[in-house]
Amino acid sequence: MTTVDIPAGWPATEEAARAVQDELRDRVVLDEPGPPPGTGRVTGVDVAYDDERDIVAAAAVVLDAATLEVVAEATAVGRISFPYVPGLLAFREIPTVLAALEALPRPPGLVVCDGYGLAHPRRFGLASHLGVLTGLPTIGVAKNPFTFTYDDPGAPRGSASPLLAGEDEVGRALRTRAGVKPVFVSVGHRVTLDDACAHTLALTPRFRLPETTRRADALCRGALQEAIARH
């Protein structure tokens, strides 16, 4: 497990964080297809917090994209680096997530975030932020639609409908299990929306949420409990 300090110069105010978003947002790449779904490696990242103790734990879990077997994993813990502000959650998570990714013994391939990319009020959620900083292809797969609207997709697995900000499609509601509530997929960086949905379906053979998210969630929760015990 890696221990992380808050980076020097990390934004401390909402104004400073929004300025960083404005600076980095123009670097998002939207015209690359990304790796073919079901090939190479795919990595899930997730975080868990204990606000009372000022601890955040992040996990990165690498899967073989074809078999969905775990091939590597890493965790990092540190202090919470930003207060809770809707739309700025990436600033609470990025330092520890980056440390977990950097601790992996092999390249992560595509990175799947438990959250948003372009489906974000400022079109720059965690998946986009992480993609721009690392240069990795990234997608966001969220559990709810945030502030956006959508029509319920068809009941069969693989059905999808646009996730809309007004008339703009910022992602898709995607049915990963027949008759079960959809997940909400958005592009982070260097992946098309069609391929982001294809990756998500490849990662959900049995459950609503991607295996990457399920594995990373369990690992970061365990890392948080370990950190609390040491604290």
Residue 49, strand partner residues: 56
Q: Confidence band (pLDDT; 50, 70, 90) for 2?
A: confident
- What is the pLDDT at residue 231? 76
Above 80 in pLDDT, residue 76?
A: yes
Judge whether residue 68 has pLDDT over 80.
yes
Please tell me the total count of domains within the chain.
Answer: 1
CA separation for the pair 52, 36 (Å, rounded): 42
**Which token pair is 49?**
């917090």
Give yes or no for residue 65 having a pLDDT over 80: yes
- Domain contains 145: yes
Q: Structure tokens of 167? A: 């008339």
Query: For residue 28, is it within any domain?
Result: no
Residue 186: the pLDDT is 98
Distance CA 37, CA 194 (A): 10
**Is 26 part of a structural domain of the chain?**
no
Indicate if the pLDDT at residue 88 is higher than 80. yes
Instruction: Tell me the pLDDT tens digit for each residue of 139-159.
Output: 999 999 999 999 999 999 999
H-helix or E-strand spanning residue 74: strand 70-78
CA distance 14 to 114: 22
Cβ pair 148, 140 in contact under 8 A: no
Asked if residue 139 lies in contact with residue 184, where contact means CB atoms within 8 angstroms, the answer is: no
Q: Does residue 24 form part of some domain? A: no
pLDDT tens by residue, 179-215: 999 999 999 999 999 999 999 999 999 999 999 999 9
The answer to whether residue 181 sits within a structural domain is yes
In a domain, 18, yes or no: no
Q: Is residue 114 part of a domain?
A: yes
CATH code for the domain in which residue 173 is found: 3.30.2170.10
164 found inside a domain: yes
Looking at every residue in the chain, the average pLDDT score rounds to 96
Q: What mean pLDDT is predicted for residues 6-31? A: 95
What pLDDT is attached to residue 190?
Answer: 98
Q: How far apart are CA 2 and CA 103, in angstroms?
A: 7
At residue 10, the pLDDT reads 95
pLDDT digits (tens, 9 = 90+) for 117-129: 999 999 999 999 9
> The domain containing residue 167 runs over which residues?
2-6+36-230
